[in-house]
Structure 1
Amino acid sequence: MTENKATLKDMVIKPNWKPADLIANRLKLSRRSVSNVITLLDEGSTIPFIARYRKEMTENMEPEVLREVAEGLEELRSVEIKLESVYKSVTKMGKMTEDLDRSFKLSTTILEVELLYAPLKPGHKGTYAERARALGLEVYARDLLNRENVNLMLLVDVQQKGLQTVGDVEKGIKHIIADIVSKDTAAMEEARNICHRCHVLIESSKVKNTARVKKKDGVVAANSQKENKKVLEHKFEQYFDFKLPVTSVKSHQILALNRAEDLKILTVKITIPAAAKEMFMNFASRTFLQKVTRSNNNFLVREAIVDAYDRLIEPMLCRQLRSDLTKNAEKASITVFSCNLKKLLLIRPVKNQVILGIDPGFKNGCKLAVVSATTQVLWTGIVYLHQTSQQTTAEMRNIAAIVDRYRCEVITIGNGVACRETEQVISNMITRGYFYSNKIMYCIVDESGASIYSVSDDAKKELPELDPTLRGAVSLARRLQDPLAELVKIEPKHLGVGMYQHDINNNKLHTALKSVVEECVSFVGVDINTCSQSLLKQVAGLNATKAKNLLEWRQQNGHFANRQQLLKVKGLGKKGFEQCAGFIRISKQTALADNFTIKQEVKVEVKTEECAEVEPIVKTGRKRKAETAGPSKKKAKLIEQEEWNPLDATSVHPESYDLAIKLASYLGVDMTDIGTENFILQVHKKTSDYNLDKFCEENSAGLPTVKLIVDSFKQPLLYDFRENFQKPLFKQEVKSVSDLRVGAEVTGRITNVTHFGAFVDIGVEINGLIHISNMGRHSAGLGVGDHVTVRVNNIDLSRERIGLVLKCVSQR
């Protein structure tokens, strides 16, 4: 017994498929590239690193595709783990059969494994087929399917339950045959194919009001729940009598149906047409009846096939279809959320400007914060703009004085409560000339997540002296200066750029959004000598602990002079360095700033040592050594060895520095001039004349890597690709919804994108919606932050809805 347990424990269960094959087939990618990606992921490589620095291995896969491969791999690895656990459990119970073995090893989803395992679990009475097998009927059932004559009368045993009559024997044999049919690989594959060809529907209807009233302490506890349910019901009215082919249903509709079903508002079902059953019966009859000889046995087997379809196959197909619809809807929703988040994080920063941030409010006032061009907080305060007219006038003068004192150039206003009223005040101030310059503009900023950030640990560490309400105003100002650096401090799901995120698998959503943040931060690049821990920990290959260690090293040793110094940081390691080094930038200014100070310290220490030698201590008879002489030599040696490398301010990875130097020599350009206008012009000119393929061949280098180096040569040092994107939408005057007219054309900024349309801030109290049917040829290209021109199609103030038609999209 002990030996059997040991054998079972050591048993390795391998499915009859390989992850690389399935993923390549599903995503229509080459098996080689998928296999390479899986190898890289298993070695600990990150998506940004693979996407940028391993293009030769992945055949230029984009980060989005790499994420799909990673997600598919994670799912299949989960299936492998589940399969091994379940397989061993079934084997231990002695219930494993050849059919089960084949079915388990062909399962590619956890749902399929669980459906096979459900009737075999300990404590379960067992399936009808199992009970029949326990009576010894399996041999005769298989004989029927293999041209053997079986006399059922001889199997009757009046003393044995389940065999007392011929009818009982027939029922047991039918259950076994039905089980064999439902586990036949070819039969199930045909059943799935038939479903794909047929007009399968998803239907929903309103749940009948049959709720039972529960009493608690003499009080009807269900009343409040009923009222809440009635409030929610109107949101799902369009699904009270809903019917649509599964091939046509939209992702947001599936998620809405799931939510309503969970709330007990709707009943949802999958309907497979009767024609599907007929087609399956034709296939199964050809497969299983061809060897059956006697007519009565033929009838028995046909009944078993009908039972297999009605009781086992159709319900399984319905569950799988519903599961696939939900899975695909979640995936699509996460994709849209990720795309919106990426566009939001990569909005063009407004650099080198002093900004006044306003977090609007009525009763508790508007919170103000002035932030310098380097994001430092210069001033904070509260004004009450929405009280009496006399007080409003006085507060307007106070705001004008603050703007004048700190020479603010832009004002940001949060889009929450009292936004439009505050916007009206600021617009009036600009129009009436309250400010020192008539060029002052304001911008509406999405304040989603600002209140969460203001009480977070990051905010407490960063702004410990400020009240949480004022931290929100600081955050709004900084969101305009550098959206990426500020928004990474907030959990992505709180940024208001997705829909139905609460109905999606939280782990999958978190993983996907974290990957998008990591990609954006890494591809933009981080200056290691000036960045915050919140930003640094999002770089590929780093985490909170490693980021903390990097900043502690910076604090103790001064600014990093080059990327190689990263290897001196405790806990980073060679793998961590490989993953993060290409995304970390070191500017010449910050690299040399501390070294200048160190050089001054060395000079002073050497001078002290010389003076000590002039006045020796007589007691010892030896020249007194300066106490700081040892450390000063180390610092001097550090300066000699650790020199700034201009490639450290580019996206070229340290592993390719030698190749970059060879390429510069091949092109005839001077590396000391990298980043200058002349250097960039020369590279542009010579890369069009020179054969890069020839260079790759001579140096055994991959063309994608060489092209990445060339692109870096064509950019200024510390290049930020966000500079090519649109600026935020600045305004000087405000409109009201009452000013809108159907047919009018207005401009606005997209605030959210969904599967059914895009929401647009057009400068009034209500965001308008461009339904997907009104997007024209731009339906696939719109993103958060895009500037658009739209025509007002309809206005429904009672439901707070504005319908828009897209006219054009401003070029990014």
Structure 2
Amino acid sequence: MTQTADRIARTIATDISARPDQVTAAVSLLDGGATVPFVARYRKEATGGLDDTQLRTLADRLVYLRELEARRESILGSIKDQGKLTDALARAIAGAETKATLEDIYLPFKPKRRTKAMIARENGLEPLLRAILDNRPADPETLGAAYITEAVPTTKDALNGARDILTEELSENADLLGRLRSFMHETALITARVHPGKEAVGAKFSDYFDHREKWSTIPSHRALAILRAAKEEIVTVDIAPDPETDAPRAVGIIAASIGIPGSAPGDAWLRAAADWTWRVKLSLTMYVDLMGDLRKRAHDEAIAVFARNLRDLLLAAPAGPRATLGLDPGIRTGVKAAVVDATGKVLETATLYPFQPRMDAAGAQSAIAAMIRRHGIELIAIGNGTASRETERLVAETLKHLPQGSARPASVIVSEAGASVYSASELAAQEFPDLDVSLRGAVSIARRLQDPLAELVKITPQSIGVGQYQHDVDQRRLTQALDAVVEDAVNAVGVDLNMASAPLLARVAGLGPSLAQAIVTHRDAHGRFPARKALLKVAGLGPKAFEQCAGFLRLRDSTEPLDATSVHPEAYDVARRIVKACGRDIRAIMGAPEALRGLRAEAFVDDRFGLPTVRDILSELEKPGRDPRPDFVTARFADGVDDIKDLRPGMSLEGTVTNVAAFGAFVDIGVHQDGLVHVSQLADRFVKDPHEVVKAGDVVRVRVVEVDVPRKRIGLTMRKDNADGAAPAQGRKAPEKTSEQPRSPKPQRGPKPAPQAASQGALGDALRNAMLGKSKSD
């Protein structure tokens, strides 16, 4: 291993809490073309069990650190070519741990445009600066008089030139820049003030018209709100130390780097030059640096929130392969209906007009009842957009009038975020060339109830609407993060090779869009795949791609029973040895944990497969094709609460978490406007991260705290201590989460923190700050 590779491995090992040898093994696999899901699942022996989260961080840091090393070599070469490389400078460059530190060191040697300091040096003023520095008792005015020339007509011009040289030297002093940056990180304040005359147009940003807080601790959602307000030219933003107490300390740091021991004339001039350097040059440099850091920090946190929410949504409980009627509600344009069978195949479509202007409720009910009878409908998926609750009531009335003793489908409100994007996409046009765009949305709504993951992968993650200021963040980084989440979710669940669409197959490790389409084309031409190994007959799919993807593809009716499991074909021999030790047919063992009792995993370890792989195989034989997603449950919206105007403080309602942000969770309670449970209202204990308590898709019980009808803001609480002052809820006491959902891990034992308290006013502030006009896509 080279010295550079060793340094990178040690740095990443610290970042992900692993050993350098684990990092080295993982890097070797990734460089060799292996995917993160494959390495995490099937190369545990090599990496010491690094999981997908660690591997994603490793991959990201690897790119950064390799770029850092390349830049280090480039800078060393540049300074060496200039003939200015010293041993001390080489050590400083070798010890730089960030790109910013490297660039600080390189500043004095970096080719630059003609500066005031260069002109001053050309005019022979550098000796004047050295004279002032070396002879502090001397009067700088007197010293400067000796440098008057045609190019420097006055003493003031001479001293200004000397000051320009000093300012440039200070602004290129890596040690000083590092100390100032640390000082700013500790003390800087971010200040926002409204542009005069923008109060009305920027009313939604009113909380930031005169706002100031510490740069180091500002939450990402507030930082993003201020940055958006600045982008829209509603406020001006400054990042600086407190002008009364901390700005003089910044000047003092600069003065200390020069060395100003007393009050001699030279000291006084240098002190004034230090102040000038801070005001004119270094304060701006620090502002740019800290603004960049703030933007990156806020973007990283917002992207992490989006990624967590997306993962929770993709891994939401599937209703399963059941005949489903999808309804895309609408008023004037009608309710679009689509029936899909258990495999997702479209059987029938229709447009119903139960609302204004046609008001054909009877005809709509008759059509729904007929579709239920014809197709044996088990589930009815209703989109949560306009006329959702009205459509839900229509369905409820229809079900009441079904013949006595007949099966009654369950109706479920389903998020339709992104359905319209999918309907108008090229993919939807290819999938349903003869189906009207408006009806494709109903198909998507039905299918996403059956299997959210399989349907949502067809939509760009940004269109699903579970982000926090998603349009404000770095779109390239956001796309990379969300693509990684989708890939990990798809491979965690596994994909049915004979049923999966091309978009779903494209997310399987080692495939991608072209190979996924080749698989579908081969399947259409030759029929169902009889076994995993038949994949090698697909044009363009070679041994390497097969190695990466095979373990994540499932075949329920294969000639090889292990093809229905996550056991990789390369380890089938190990699985057969385990089966042989049981003395029974493999089909009798799969799914029968009692048949595997008494077997020791250590007995099946060989020179190719270690204990982690053997344990995974045993687990898979116990429960073949296990699905990591939770059981299917739905929220039950309250009758008669269909609009925000129906809400009253104290109401206890059930709802579904649609989005989790740094400041709280948004909950759909069936009134066409999500309510906010502020982080302080999520539990009767201190909650730092809302994801500790809830995730997207959770069914929760909430109590209404505050309703602002004009601004469509709803404040909710999940606390049971009534600290918010709302009227007690009627009926049973609301649990933190409904019992049907798995609860979050219990906090570590220790002293119980004081519960957070939030007044209605504070919650109102949170609502105003929350999403600044949050929409389904932002």
> Into which bin does the TM-score normalised by the smaller protein fall?
0.7 to 0.9
Q: For 1:808, what is the secondary structure of its paired residue?
A: coil
Distance (Å, rounded) in 2 between the aligned partners of 1:118 and 1:281? 21
CA separation of 1:419 and 1:781: change in aligned 2, threshold 3 A: same
Are 1:356 and 1:411, in contact at CA under 8 Å, matched by a contact in 2?
yes
Q: Can you give the 5+ residue segments of structure 2 that lack an aligned partner in the other structure?
A: 719-734, 743-778
Select the residue among 784, 796, 812 that pairs with 2:708. 796
Q: For 2:236, what is the secondary structure of its paired residue?
A: strand
Q: For 2:377, what is the secondary structure of its paired residue?
A: coil
Alignment match, 1:382: 351
CA separation of 1:255 and 1:96: change in aligned 2, threshold 3 A: farther
Distance (Å, rounded) in 2 between the aligned partners of 1:651 and 1:139? 76
Distance (Å, rounded) in 1 between the aligned partners of 2:310 and 2:490? 12
Are 1:174 and 1:300, in contact at CA under 8 Å, matched by a contact in 2?
no
Alignment match, 1:720: 627
| Equivalence map 1:84-483=2 (5 Å) | 124-126=113-115, 128-135=116-123, 153=143, 156-159=146-149, 161-162=151-152, 167-198=156-187, 200-209=188-197, 233-273=202-242, 275-279=245-249, 288-289=258-259, 297-299=266-268, 301-387=270-356, 391-433=360-402, 437=406, 439-483=408-452
Are 1:16 and 1:106, in contact at CA under 8 Å, matched by a contact in 2?
no
Are 1:338 and 1:512, in contact at CA under 8 Å, matched by a contact in 2?
yes
Structure 1 residues 498-507 or 66-75, which shifts more?
66-75
Structure 1 residues 304-313 or 536-545, which shifts more?
304-313
Are 1:428 and 1:733, in contact at CA under 8 Å, matched by a contact in 2?
no
Alignment match, 1:736: 642
Are 2:402 and 2:408, in contact at CA under 8 Å, matched by a contact in 1?
no
Are 1:336 and 1:498, in contact at CA under 8 Å, matched by a contact in 2?
yes
CA apart distance, 1:445: 1.0
| CA deviation map 1:87-128 (0-9, x unaligned) | 989999x798879999887776667788899999989432x3
| Equivalence map 1:56-71=2 (5 Å) | 56-71=45-60
Are 2:120 and 2:165, in contact at CA under 8 Å, matched by a contact in 1?
yes
Are 2:224 and 2:469, in contact at CA under 8 Å, matched by a contact in 1?
yes
Q: For 1:721, what is the secondary structure of its paired residue?
A: coil
| CA deviation map 1:266-294 (0-9, x unaligned) | 1111121355455556555555439x999
Select the residue among 656, 672, 676 that pairs with 2:586. 672
CA separation of 1:22 and 1:138: change in aligned 2, threshold 3 A: farther
Does residue 561 in structure 1 map to residue 530 in structure 2? yes
Distance (Å, rounded) in 1 between the aligned partners of 2:78 and 2:145? 32
CA apart distance, 1:695: 5.5
Are 1:342 and 1:517, in contact at CA under 8 Å, matched by a contact in 2?
yes
Distance (Å, rounded) in 2 between the aligned partners of 1:135 and 1:704? 73
CA apart distance, 1:468: 1.1
| CA deviation map 1:675-729 (0-9, x unaligned) | 6343x2232x325xx3x45755x6574433333222212213x33222x344344
Are 2:566 and 2:620, in contact at CA under 8 Å, matched by a contact in 1?
yes
CA separation of 1:699 and 1:430: change in aligned 2, threshold 3 A: same
Select the residue among 657, 666, 682 that pairs with 1:750. 657
| CA deviation map 1:543-583 (0-9, x unaligned) | 11111222333344443333333334333333322321221
Are 2:104 and 2:177, in contact at CA under 8 Å, matched by a contact in 1?
no
Aligned residue identity for 1:786: D
Alignment match, 1:617: none
CA apart distance, 1:808: 1.2
Does residue 707 in structure 1 map to residue 615 in structure 2? yes
Are 2:136 and 2:265, in contact at CA under 8 Å, matched by a contact in 1?
no
| CA deviation map 1:367-420 (0-9, x unaligned) | 111111121111111110103686222322222122222221221111112212
| Equivalence map 1:636-675=2 (5 Å) | 644-664=559-579, 668=582, 670=584, 672-673=586-587
Select the residue among 452, 474, 487 that pairs with 1:505. 474
Select the residue among 510, 515, 519 that pairs with 2:488. 519
CA apart distance, 1:488: 0.7
Aligned residue identity for 2:453: L
Distance (Å, rounded) in 2 between the aligned partners of 1:96 and 1:493? 50
Higher helix share: 1
Distance (Å, rounded) in 2 between the aligned partners of 1:755 and 1:539? 31
Structure 1 residues 510-519 or 240-249, which shifts more?
240-249
CA separation of 1:192 and 1:157: change in aligned 2, threshold 3 A: closer
Are 1:441 and 1:731, in contact at CA under 8 Å, matched by a contact in 2?
no
Does residue 681 in structure 1 map to residue 598 in structure 2? no
Q: For 2:287, what is the secondary structure of its paired residue?
A: helix
Distance (Å, rounded) in 2 between the aligned partners of 1:740 and 1:427? 22
Q: Can you give the 5+ residue segments of structure 1 that lack an aligned partner in the other structure?
A: 1-13, 210-228, 592-643
Aligned residue identity for 1:443: V
Distance (Å, rounded) in 2 between the aligned partners of 1:553 and 1:282? 73
CA apart distance, 1:262: 0.9
Distance (Å, rounded) in 2 between the aligned partners of 1:462 and 1:110? 47
Distance (Å, rounded) in 1 between the aligned partners of 2:549 and 2:533? 12
CA separation of 1:681 and 1:510: change in aligned 2, threshold 3 A: same
CA apart distance, 1:365: 1.1
CA separation of 1:154 and 1:335: change in aligned 2, threshold 3 A: closer
Distance (Å, rounded) in 2 between the aligned partners of 1:16 and 1:97? 24
Number of equivalenced pairs = 712
Distance (Å, rounded) in 1 between the aligned partners of 2:715 and 2:329? 27
CA apart distance, 1:154: 9.3
CA separation of 1:87 and 1:435: change in aligned 2, threshold 3 A: farther
Structure 1 residues 404-413 or 547-556, which shifts more?
547-556
Distance (Å, rounded) in 1 between the aligned partners of 2:331 and 2:674? 21
Distance (Å, rounded) in 1 between the aligned partners of 2:43 and 2:305? 26
Does residue 51 in structure 1 map to residue 15 in structure 2? no
Q: For 1:809, what is the secondary structure of its paired residue?
A: coil
CA apart distance, 1:192: 2.6
CA apart distance, 1:34: 4.0
CA apart distance, 1:72: 3.1
Distance (Å, rounded) in 2 between the aligned partners of 1:147 and 1:562? 88
Q: For 1:502, what is the secondary structure of its paired residue?
A: coil
Q: For 2:202, what is the secondary structure of its paired residue?
A: helix
CA separation of 1:514 and 1:173: change in aligned 2, threshold 3 A: same
CA apart distance, 1:264: 0.7
CA apart distance, 1:62: 3.5
- Relative to the length of structure 1, the TM-score reads 0.78
CA apart distance, 1:532: 1.4
Q: For 1:208, what is the secondary structure of its paired residue?
A: coil
Does residue 539 in structure 1 map to residue 508 in structure 2? yes
Select the residue among 41, 47, 64 that pairs with 2:30. 41
Distance (Å, rounded) in 1 between the aligned partners of 2:628 and 2:265? 77
Are 2:132 and 2:266, in contact at CA under 8 Å, matched by a contact in 1?
yes
Does residue 570 in structure 1 map to residue 539 in structure 2? yes
Q: Percent identity?
A: 36
Distance (Å, rounded) in 1 between the aligned partners of 2:604 and 2:471? 52
Q: For 1:789, what is the secondary structure of its paired residue?
A: strand
Structure 1 residues 738-747 or 260-269, which shifts more?
738-747
Distance (Å, rounded) in 1 between the aligned partners of 2:92 and 2:233? 35
Aligned residue identity for 1:203: T
Does residue 775 in structure 1 map to residue 682 in structure 2? yes
Structure 1 residues 547-556 or 151-160, which shifts more?
151-160
Distance (Å, rounded) in 1 between the aligned partners of 2:247 and 2:13? 32
- Relative to the length of structure 2, the TM-score reads 0.81
